Structure formats: C-alpha cells, structure tokens
Chain A
Amino acid sequence: MIHSLFLINSSGDIFLEKHWKSVVSRSVCDYFFEAQERATEAENVPPVIPTPHHYLLSVYRHKIFFVAVIQTEVPPLFVIEFLHRVVDTFQDYFGVCSEPVIKDNVVVVYEVLEEMLDNGFPLATESNILKELIKPPTILRTVVNTITGSTNVGDQLPTGQLSVVPWRRTGVKYTNNEAYFDVIEEIDAIIDKSGSTITAEIQGVIDACVKLTGMPDLTLSFMNPRLLDDVSFHPCVRFKRWESERILSFIPPDGNFRLLSYHVSAQNLVAIPVYVKHNISFRDSSSLGRFEITVGPKQTMGKTIEGVTVTSQMPRGVLNMSLTPSQGTHTFDPVTKMLSWDVGKINPQKPPNLKGTMSLQAGASKPDENPTINLQFKIQQLAISGLKVNRLDMYGEKYKPFKGIKYMTKAGKFQVRT
C-alpha cells in the first residue's frame, strides 16, 4: 500500500522522508513539484498525481504537504484518510504540527510513523495505543529523561492492541474523575444579496474530554435525538444501541476524542443568528468606491454573539481602502487584497459598522463582481439546532465522576454574497 512518505514544506524542501518498503528515490517528488507549479496555489494541487511508476497522493495541512507514494491500486481515500490521521496524531503529540516542531522531534515522529504503518498497511492508528507505545514529549519528561536516562519509548508493551477496546488504554488512573462534553454546532450558509438564505445547514460535533479511572461504560442520551439526521460515530459507540434506543452507549477512549459528528436534518429551518447589511458600490467614472457593512444580531435566543470577524477578498482593482469601524480593528492587505475586520462582541443596541471608501486603480474598468463576505462568530451556551443532552450515566466503576457539558454555536462556512 503506502510505500513512502515525504514531507514537503511550502518552499519546496523535502524535510522528512520515511520508507516502509524498498526505498523510493526522492526524485519522484519532482512530479509533485511540477504539479505544484502548475497549480499556482497550494490548495489547488491535485491530491492524486500519476507518475510513470508511482502515484503520489498528497494532503496539505498546516502549510506542509504530506505526500504518500504508492505503487499499485488502492482506494485513494484510504491513503488520504490515513495521512490526515497522521497529521492529527502529530498534532495530538506535539500540540502543533509545523515544520520546526517536526524537525525538533524527528525521532519521535519516526517512531510514531514506524508504529502506524507496517509494510504500508495501517497498524496502530488509535492515539491511545500510540501514546502507550511512544510517550509524547513533555517538558517534564524531557527533564526527567535527561536526569535519569530513561526514554520516551514506553517500557511496558502496549496492551491496547490486543484488547477488544483498542481505543482505550488499560490501567488508567486519575485522582479527579471528570468527563466533559462539548456540543459544537457550525452553521454553513450562503446568504444572497438581498439577505435571503440560499442554503443553510447545521453540522455538529460532540467533542469529549474524558478522564476517568478504570473501564467506565458511559451512556449519553438526548432530549430530542430526532433532530439528528445523519450521524457518524467514534468506533467506541455501540451502533445497535443507537439504532434501537437512540442512546449513545460507549466505553470512552482516554483523553480527548470526537464522539460523534452529526448533521441536522434539512427539514428544520436553520435560524441564522446574524444579519449583514452591506452597501458596496463601484462607479464607472470615478476611481473611488463606496463601502459600508453593518453586522447585527438576529434570532440569537438572547445570547450574545462574540468573536465576530469579517473577511472579504476584494477585487484586484482595489488599490487601498480607507475605512472607519464603529468598533474593533480592521486591516487591508494591498497585496493579497484581503480585508479583515475583527469586530469582537456585538452589542444589539449599537450594531457595529464599517464604513469608508475604496480607491480603485485609475483608468481600470470597474470590477464585475462585488466581493463575498465571510463571517466568523461564536455564540456560547447555545446549540442553534436546539439539541439538548438529557443525561450522562456511568456504569462499571464505583466512583462518582464530575460531569460537564458545554454548548457552542459557531459559523462554519458562512458567506454573504453582495
């Protein structure tokens, strides 16, 4: 399956390579560089590139290309999904996944990769098992290791690989037993010129942070499970139980994990919590354009909207913008033509507003299209779909855990066409 893996940074240097079968020469990446050049933008590089003897499947994340070399037919999603898993694992291990961090931890990276694949076929991809095999580096451990000469490699052999709950390591112990669940919903929407919704959907996830001793068996039930239209589960969730009773029953992995992601059925109308009023106009004759945006709350169920940022890719003809915001700060990058306005909290009494003029290239014709406005925002303590967790129960262990649940609504891909 996967022959080799090359990590390539944005300037085109191969800074890590790993082979699982016989060595494939680096020169194979030349085909990749060619494609990269043709694509001009990093995210337009095709994920699958055929070369005379190999196929290059790549994933672009954190400004790094993860290029897998394969030789024979294999489902492309298999490789791509695996590469994403690799990135997730690095992130899990090192906090961030960036070139300097990978270079600094090259040995750990190598050891992890060695465990993740055997002969190109995934072996251990669960972070709980991997962490048992190879301990993630922490400052404390680094210090201890230097003093005592012990190592990052777990001295105990991993038991998780053998157990029937491969996602959970054995012998977990905590003094404070806690289980936190975050219900996070993202609104994907396209709003048209006149402010009416073209498409809107809610995508939600439940991220959990479970720190419980032993082998707890949890059940999580919802007040209104009917809302969930399409769900995908962490492998720990018992599917039959969900099918029959709409209850999530699972033995959780240790630590952070994504329990569930869901889609709220399209029948329910999505409440759009913000409105954007805009007036962007270019005139043919003059080299000045008018620009005005107002963001305000709508259907927020009494919650405040925070962390609002507005970004917009201005047309190429715009040279500069002189704007005054009623609150927050704004920047305009004359090179990339990217306008971003960090609004912050929205005060319903005084909706924030950004107003001013754009100076256009003299003599150039006016741009055909007004820019699209991308919106980011957060609403704490609210799941916009109305999903509510009913209760969380634990079986199998004696102690009483601390349980917490948090709701949040965010903008996903939220676009306003102007």
Chain B
Amino acid sequence: MSSNSFSYNEQSGGGEATELGQEATSTISPSGAFGLFSSDLKKNEDLKQMLESNKDSAKLDAMKRIVGMIAKGKNASELFPAVVKNVASKNIEIKKLVYVYLVRYAEEQQDLALLSISTFQRALKDPNQLIRASALRVLSSIRVPIIVPIMMLAIKEASADLSPYVRKNAAHAIQKLYSLDPEQKEMLIEVIEKLLKDKSTLVAGSVVMAFEEVCPDRIDLIHKNYRKLCNLLVDVEEWGQVVIIHMLTRYARTQFVSPWKEGDELEDNEKNFYESDDDQKEKTDKRKKPYTMDSDHRLLIRNTKPLLQSRNAAVVMAVAQLYWHISPKSEAGIISKSLVRLLRSNREVQYIVLQNIATMSIQRKGMFEPYLKSFYVRSTDPTMIKTLKLEILTNLANEANISTLLREFQTYVKSQDKQFAAATIQTIGRCATNILEVTDTCLNGLVCLLSNRDEIVVAESVVVIKKLLQMQPVQHGEIIKHMAKLLDSITVPVARASILWLIGENCERVPKIAPDVLRKMAKSFTSEDDLVKLQILNLGAKLYLTNSKQTKLLTQYILNLGKYDQNYDIRDRTRFIRQLIVPNEKSGALSKYAKKIFLAQKPAPLLESPFKDRDHFQLGTLSHTLNIKATGYLELSNWPEVAPDPSVRNVEVIELAKEWTPAGKAKQENSAKKFYSESEEEGDSSDSSSDSESESGSESGEQGKSGEEGDSNEDSSEDSSSEQDSESGRESGLENKRTAKRNSKAKGKSDSEDGEKENEKSKTSDSSNAESSSIEDSSSDSESESESESESESRKVTQEKEKKTKQGRTPLTKDVSLLDLDDCQYSCICTNKNSRAASSNEWKRTSCPLFLSKTALHFW
C-alpha cells in the first residue's frame, strides 16, 4: 500500500469524531452516533478541493479516502459532483476508483450520474476490447432508469462484438438491465438467444447465468445449444460450469425419459393403458424395450464426469447432484468418492456436503457404505459437523456394521461436548429401532447411561428409552422402576415429563410405584415446568381411572391446583380432564369412554431422519440446505413419460447431411428423429431400428470412451493430425478436406470395425426381444456388410467434415485434450481480428510442434 493510505489512516484516526458524525447523517448505518457537524463539512470541503486540484496525486489521494469511507459504510454521496468530474481522468487508478464510487452512488444521484454517460458511450467505441468491456460493465452497473434505452443499445452492440470478452460482459449486463427494468425482458431474451449460440467458452457460463435469471422457463432456447454446451463444458471457467450444470440438470429432467429402472415397468403399463390413440409402432417399441437412453442424455453424463476431479467444491457438488438426479442409478456410485474427498475441505464446505450426503444416504445406503470410516467424528470437529456425521452414520448403519458403530458411539457418548453426546444417544435409539437385532443391546446400554453423571445425557437417555419402550410390547417393569427412582434426581423437564408419561402408560404394570410417584409430584406440582405439569395431570387421570381407590383424592387435589395455574394450557387441560373422568350429572356421553381414551394403545413414534423430507429439493441448492423453498428456486420437474421430440436439439447440418440421410431414413421410417444425434455424436455406423439404435447410442458412448482410454496410441496420433487440421482449417477449405481425409483414414478403419462390433452387440442384446427388432437388426447387419470399406471411409470423411463445420461442439474437442486449448483459440481468433490475433497465432505456432514432439516422445 502506498504512503497515501498511511496518511489516510492517520487522518482517519484523528478525524474519528467527524466520521462518526457522518454516520449519523447517513441512511445506511443503523448505529447512530454523534459528532460535530461543522468539522464534518470541513473535511469534505478538503476532499472536494483535492478532487478539483490539478495534480493527479492529490486526486488519487482523495479518491482513496473516499473509497475508504465507502468501505466502512459511511455516506460520501455529497461529494458526487466533485467526483463525477474525474470520470474522464487519464489516470487509470483514479478512473477505477471513480467507477467504484459511481456504481455505489449513481442510484441516489441520478441526474448527476447522467453527466458521466457520454464518457462511457465514447469508450464503448474504443478499439481496445478491454476498454469497451469495462465501459459496458460500469455503464450497466449504474442503476439509473433513464439510461435503459442506452444500455439496451449498448448490450445489443456488445453482443455482436468481435471480442468474446466483450460479449461475456454483455451477458453480465443483461442481468443488470433486467433487474433494473423487467419490461425489457422480451428484447433481452433475443440477446440471450443470440449469445447462447456463441461458441466461445468465455461467454457460455455468463450467458447461461443470464438465461437462468431472466428466462429460466424458456427451455426451448437451449435445445439447439444443448450439445454445444455439453461439449464446451470442460473448458468453461469453473463458476460457469456450476451454473451450466445446474441448468442442464433441469433441462435433462424435462427432455429425457427416466433412466431409473424401478419405476420403468409401472410407467410403461400406464402408458399402454392410457395412450391408445398414439402411434402404434411406438407403443410396440416401448413394450419391447423398456428403456433406452437418449444419446444426448448420455452425452451430458459422460461429459460432466471429468469435472468430478475439479478443485472447486461447487463444481464437484454440481456434478454430483447431476448424477444423482439424471444418471441411471447404477452409475451414480462414482460420485461418492469425490464427495468424500470434499470432506477434507473447510468447515463450511463440509457442512453443505455432509447435508447432501445425509439426504443421499437415506435413499441409497450402498453408495457411501465403503466410506463409513470417513464419517467418524473427531473431537475437534465443530458440533454442527459432528451431528451431521452422526446422522450419516445412522443412515448407513446395518446388521453388518452395527457392532462397530455402537462401539464408536460409546466413545461419542462420553464426549465433553454434551450436545453431541445427547445427539449420539438419540442416534443409538434410532439404530435400535431400525435394526432389530441390537434393540436389546442398545436398550441395556441406554439404561447404563441413566447412571451417568451428566444430567443432559441422562435426560436424553430417558427420552430415548421412553420411545424404545413404547415400541416394544415386551414388559420392561424393571427399567420403569429404575426410571421412577430417577425422578428424584433429574431436573430436566423433558426427561421428567417422559418418565411420568411412561409410568402413566404402564401404571397397571407398576401398581405400587405409580401412586407413590403421583404423591410426590402432587407435592412439587407448583414448582414444576409446564411440560411436567401436563404430564402430572395425565398421570393423575390415568391412575384415577385404573386405581381410583388410592388416588382419587390425590388426583382431585392436583386438578384443583391445575385449575388455578397461570398457564392457560394447563387450566384447559385440567378442565378437560375433570369433565372427562370425574363423574357428575353434567358429564357427557364421553366420560364412559374415558378409560379407552386415556389408556388406548398409542402408536409408537417413528424415529426418523430429519433429512427424510429434504429429497424433494434439488441437491446442492440453497433450498435443500435450508429445507425451505428459497426465493427463485426452480423446481426440478419429474421425468416426462414420453420423451419430447429429440430432433429439436439437432443443429442444421449444412451440406453433407443430405448425402446419407436417405440411406438412414429408408430403413427406419419410424424413428427418423433419433438419427441425427447419432451422426453427429459418434459417427456411428449402426443404423438400425429406433430401439436398437438408441441403445447403441448409449453403448457407443461407452465404447467411444473405452476407445479413448484404452487406445492411447491411436488417440494421440489423432491428436496430432487433428491438431494440424484445426490449424490448416483456418487457412483454406481445401486443405481442410485433405487433412480430414487423412485423419479419417487413421480413424476410419477402427471405427468401421467398431461399428460392426456394435451391430453384433446390439443384435445379441436384442435377440432376447421380440422379432421385429431382430428383423431390423438383420437389415442393419446387411447394411454394414454391403458397405465396402471405401464407402464407410467416404462416409467418415463426410462426418469428419460435418464436425469441422461445427467446430466447438464436436466430440473431437473432448477426445483430444491437447486440442482443447487450440480449439478455443480458434474461435477466439476467427472472431477477434485485432492485434491480439497475431500474438496468439504465434503461441500456437510454437505450441503445435511442441505437442507433436511430445506425443512422439511418448511413443518411442
């Protein structure tokens, strides 16, 4: 920090009183203070003079002090005119600080803020993209309604800017304008639509954020960009990734059918009943193949997987919730390892992650069982973390691990953190009810705890034992007697109330003790807690009904005390009980049934996880954490019964799609819709029926992956060649074709093999199904046979070309990690024709041979 701030600090030290004075006048600071108004004015005079001086250093000094005031929440709005004059300053730091000031106060001083607008308008036309971007940033941050049209215009222009950085800022500006003036929604949606098409990774995150804020319901805008977003995802900056993944999760839940097997049959049956007038073929298909995953669905799941390795906890959590909500249940298991890794992180991260794990572990124990020990509690954990871990341990408890867990719990019960010890006792209670083998062990253990020295522990044990005993029809007279003795020593109201209730409930089993307890309680009635008083009344009533000889007078005494109690609940209860149990001339028909009412068999309470009801919220959201619907929470829709038309996600393929469309169409008139995705996705050669095809879609996903992993050799040779592609592609189209061919030769062969393999696979898997599909299969088989090698190759070329035309969302980007960098560079360069292009080109030139040499190095 410069000496300026030093001097500032000294001054602020001296002028403490004056600053306090300002606080009093300001609207922001609630803490009122007193001060000398005159000196306050004087100080600001001094700042004004500095701002008007000719020297930049004085201005800077003044601005720094003003920013200091803003930071402390003091009002500096009266300096507005003096500050705003400096908006056009040549000094960058002054300028920046003026921006900070403007953004903070423009809302309050709208008229004066207008003075600065022309400066920004000029800057918007600056040849330097960074200046354009920052001008747009500040202009859009000034919340002055009058300039809405200007902002709109600026956003529109910026969204067509050649620089992706400026476009990114335009995406940010959309949200700002929308919050300033929601009327502009329609126009802004147009801009969003345009920016969604953007292929730059810089823009993707920001525009999806804008989409989520402005028009999250316009899911139709996503269709055409879905595959591109999936493919770009890995290269988007981490914050953007979080937003995009959340959005795509919602999207997937509206566009694909459920991959979860359990519900499948049921759903299908329903469908067959209800949609009788639907396309017959589709229905038969459905019946034969309960579920086939859409290849786009698979694409999303596959492309998010690497992000589990992100260093950013938010990204990992986002992927985890995506897997949880949209992947087949068998695949969701991979997220647990990454989530457990996050537990090493900061306290706050742990808290959120544990909450989510708690919800998950209720539904699918198996996922986290291998990591049981990671949830063991350390004495240094904060209490909230401890209780969450306990919660998870309870959810994971089963017959196999319960003995280990109980041993662990024994340690926890002794913890110095009594709140935690109490939570542990509750946990033991829950384990006891969930796992019948250990109920008795747990009960015995809890009874032992009754002799514990700590009152909280004893009280909690009493409450839990009460619940356990209620569940068990077995006689536990001994325990009840033991607890009756405890009444003398325990003071915690809940525990006392529990004991009384328990005695009342079992009063016929402990006929000697119960009246005595009532006698004692009658003595201390007036000094008891309300909760206990209510239970004394209950106990009295129950004894009156069962053993009125001994307790009649006692009960009446208690009822009299209750009649004049301060608490109206207790007075009410007293009145009610008296009318019900004490026979008199006015007593209604009900008093006959008093015994039945009081001593009815009560259903045992269910000891449930507090996280049970959280699963209707999307995991990883604020609403889930709070278990309340937060403002702006977007419900995750249920899976549609029938997938909406998947062809909406197809992007028009310009020339070559036609070439092989008819071939495909001829064979599968019933499922033309799925066929594009295939062609783009994998260049898959199996064109079979709708079902076998979409199945192969999901399979091909896997296969593609295994291809990548297993065959590193070929993969990286591809690397290098496609590297060249992307470079030469920029130079000429002709070159492009040639390299594409070369590329495809390398890949083509293996791919066509793949294709055949796949056909076989689909055949075998389909053979179990009905005949129609097998017929289709054979047709696809014959097709693959009829295709000579050369033909398949030429097709490969066409596909390769398609890919080229759609740079950025081709799977190539994904397959070839080294290409990633260059690929984005590409979009950067072709759009951004300013001086930077030259330098980045240079970087590429140096880097390309480098990659080649490196890959070469690894082969030899």
Contacts and interface: CB of A to CB of B under 8 A. Distances in A.
A59 B348 contact: yes
Interface string A357-370: 00000000101110
Interface stretch (B373-381, B486-494, B498-506): B373-381
A80 B239 contact: no
Interface stretch (A226-234, A296-304, A327-335, A344-352): A226-234
Nearest to A151: B93
Interface in A222-275: 229-235, 238-241, 243-245, 247, 249, 251, 258, 261, 263, 266
B302 interface: no
Interface stretch (B109-117, B313-321, B513-521): B313-321
Given A55-B630, A163-B840, A238-B818, A245 B237 contact: no
Interface stretch (A44-52, A378-386, A402-410): A44-52
B836 A162 contact: yes
B747 to A, nearest CB: 16
Contact of A235 (B93, B137, B311, B411): B311
A305 interface: no
Of listed A19, A23, A118, residue having the most chain B CB within 10 A: A118
Contacts of A165: 821
Contacts of A23: 28, 104, 107
A82 B239 contact: yes
A137 B2 contact: yes
Contacts of A153: 92-93, 96
Given A219-B854, A230-B341, A368-B452, A146 B67 contact: no
B584 interface: no
Contact of B56 (A1, A149, A217, A261): A149
Majority SS at the chain B contact face:
helix
B165 A157 contact: no
Contacts of A157: 128, 130-131
Given A72-B630, A80-B352, A110-B100, A125 B239 contact: yes
Nearest to B370: A266
B30 A25 contact: yes
> What size tier do the contact residues of chain A reach?
35 or more
A192 B404 CA distance: 13
Contacts of B376: 190, 198-199
Given A73-B634, A81-B312, A240-B815, A17 B242 contact: no
Contacts of B179: 21
Given A106-B68, A157-B128, A369-B415, A415 B73 contact: no
A314 B137 CA distance: 56
Interface of A: 1, 14-19, 21-23, 25-27, 41, 43-44, 46-48, 50, 55, 58-61, 70-78, 80-84, 103-111, 114, 118-119, 121-123, 125, 137, 142, 145-146, 149, 151-155, 157-159, 161-166, 170, 188, 190, 192, 198-199, 201, 203, 215, 217, 219, 229-235, 238-241, 243-245, 247, 249, 251, 258, 261, 263, 266, 313, 315-316, 365, 367-369, 371-372, 374, 395-396, 413, 415, 417
Interface of B: 1-5, 9, 28-30, 56-57, 60, 64, 67-68, 70-73, 91-93, 96-97, 99-100, 104, 107, 128-131, 137, 140-141, 143, 163-165, 169, 172, 175-176, 179, 202, 206, 209, 234, 237-239, 242, 246, 306, 309-314, 316-318, 337-338, 341, 344, 346-349, 351-353, 370, 373-374, 376, 378-380, 382-384, 408, 411, 414-416, 452-454, 620-623, 625-626, 628, 630-634, 708-709, 712, 715-716, 815-818, 820-822, 824-825, 828, 836, 839-840, 843, 846-847, 850, 853-854, 858
27 contacts: A15-B72, A44-B384, A48-B352, A55-B626, A70-B622, A73-B631, A73-B632, A75-B246, A75-B314, A76-B625, A77-B317, A105-B5, A106-B68, A118-B137, A119-B172, A146-B3, A151-B92, A152-B1, A153-B93, A164-B822, A190-B378, A232-B311, A232-B316, A235-B237, A238-B817, A239-B817, A263-B344
Given A23-B107, A82-B314, 7 more contacts: A23-B28, A44-B383, A44-B384, A47-B352, A114-B99, A125-B238, A413-B380
